[in-house]
């Protein structure tokens, strides 16, 4: 019985963390130090992109210190591929979650 209670506590805690993550509560901070006045969160990729047409970085995706000119180049990056698997995993996989790394 004690094992069952502990297991249920773990399941409930994981569900709570997942629900907060799905709401975007656990996003990484927006990139700083770049000429972009409007960073938007892309929930499909779990990354930020610059939505500032006046910026050199406009339309580019940012992940792990690098910029990608479009979603396709981001998704083909080896660094993103390893991040993507952790970003999309967890309880309720099949739906995209929050920050995974």
Is there a domain that residue 100 lies in? Answer: no
One domain, residues 41 and 58 = yes
Is there a domain that residue 2 lies in? Answer: yes
Inter-residue contact 98 to 22 (CB < 8 Å):
yes
Boundaries of domain holding 15: 1-28
d(CA 83, CA 77): 10
One domain, residues 23 and 48 = no
One domain, residues 9 and 50 = no
Please tell me the predicted confidence (pLDDT) of residue 25.
54
**Alpha carbons within 13 A on the beta-carbon side of 22:** 14
pTM: 0.62
Query: If we measure between CA atoms, which residue out of 49, 11, 44 comes closest to residue 30?
Result: 49
Please tell me the predicted confidence (pLDDT) of residue 31.
94
Residues across the chain: 101
One domain, residues 38 and 77 = yes
Is there a domain that residue 94 lies in? Answer: no
Reading the chain (101 residues) residue by residue, the pLDDT tens digits are 555 444 444 444 444 334 444 554 578 899 999 999 999 999 999 999 999 999 999 999 999 999 999 999 999 999 999 888 887 765 444 545 455 44
Q: Total domain count for the chain?
A: 2
Give all strands (DSSP E) within 1-101, no chain letters.
39-42, 47-50, 61-63, 66-68
Is there a domain that residue 18 lies in? Answer: yes
């Amino acid at each position: 019985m004690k094992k069952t209670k502990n297991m249920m506590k773990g399941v409930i805690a994981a569900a709570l963390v997942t629900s907060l993550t799905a709401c975007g509560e656990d996003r990484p901070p927006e990139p700083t130090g770049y000429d972009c006045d409007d960073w938007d969160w892309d929930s499909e990729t779990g990354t930020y992109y610059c939505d500032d047409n006046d910026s050199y970085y406009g339309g580019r995706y940012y992940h792990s210190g690098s910029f990608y000119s479009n979603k396709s180049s981001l998704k083909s990056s080896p660094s993103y591929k390893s991040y993507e698997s952790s970003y999309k995993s967890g309880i309720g996989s099949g739906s995209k979650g929050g920050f995974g790394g």
